[in-house]
């Protein structure tokens, strides 16, 4: 899985669910950036 903020490939890390989809992050900083503006990092399909 790729971190949607920095693009790093990760296996374990910070996790959240947004609009029913699970996202993983390499660090708390990337998770915080995503949580502050998820639409910047997610494409609605």
Note the pLDDT of residue 23: 94
Q: Model confidence over 3-35: pLDDT tens digits?
A: 999 999 998 888 999 999 999 999 999 999 999
pLDDT at 43 over 80: no
Note the pLDDT of residue 4: 94
Note the pLDDT of residue 44: 63
Sequential DSSP letters for 1-44: -B-TTT--B-SSSEEEEETTEEEEESSHHHHHHHHH-GGGT---
Q: How far apart are CA 34 and CA 29, in angstroms?
A: 9
Note the pLDDT of residue 14: 86
Q: How far apart are CA 27 and CA 17, in angstroms?
A: 15
Note the pLDDT of residue 12: 85
Q: Cβ(45)–Cβ(38) under 8 Å?
A: no
Number of domains in the chain: 1
Structural domain of 13:
1-45
Entry pTM: 0.82
């Amino acid at each position: 899985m790729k971190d949607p903020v920095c693009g790093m490939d990760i296996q374990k890390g910070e996790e959240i669910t947004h609009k029913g989809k699970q996202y993983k992050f390499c660090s708390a900083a990337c998770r915080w950036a995503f949580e502050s503006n998820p639409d910047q990092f997610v494409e609605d399909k």
